[in-house]
Copies of this chain bind each other. A is one copy, B any other.
Amino acid sequence: MTISMYSMTVPFYAGMLTNLAHVLTKAEAWATERKIDPTVLLNDRLAPDMLTMKRQVQIATDHAKSAAARLGGVENPSFPDTEETFAELHARIAKVRDFVLSVPQAGFDGAEDRNITIKVGPQEMTFPGGQYLQGYSFPNFYFHMTTAYAILRHNGVPLGKGDFFGRG
């Protein structure tokens, strides 16, 4: 009746980051083919008060990185949000993926009950690791990854759900 915190975090996020990179590869190839300035896609948003596509990618990767660090009990590295090109976003995804995969499995022992404290704006939130993963990390990750995908789809990039799920 249980499932391992390690398997829910490390292989899962590593796989989804691969899918995210795949989505960006298709988007860039489409832009190149259509002679569309890639910064149009990188900086588009669905509403004036929503974040840009590149920010969605940065935040999604941050949630993957932070989950692996916090649940695996290692230092959470900070990656500045400086990416301005598809190549730079790819480098960030690869760096985060390498980091996620580097976190030792043993560190996840007891992670489901260990308290995790995070800052959300000015507030601190504390919850057991299991709840953090499912109730905070996953929804945030998917929220931003899906929004990045939705921005690209809205621009006409020929993506399908299979690309999102790694079957594209």
Choice from B8, B112, B139, B146 contacting A134 with Cβ under 8 Å: B8
Q: Say yes or no for A165: interface residue by CB 8 A criterion.
A: yes
- For A112, the chain B residues whose CB sits under 8 A away are 1-3
Secondary structure type dominating chain A contacts: helix
Minimum Cβ distance to chain B for residue A48 (Å): 9
| Oligomer copy total | 2
Interface residues on chain A, size class: 35 or more
Name A's B-contacting residues (CB within 8 A). Answer: 1-8, 12, 15-16, 46-47, 50, 108-112, 130, 133-135, 138-139, 142-143, 146-147, 150, 153-154, 156, 161, 164-165
**Interface pair B1/A1, CB less than 8 Å apart:** no
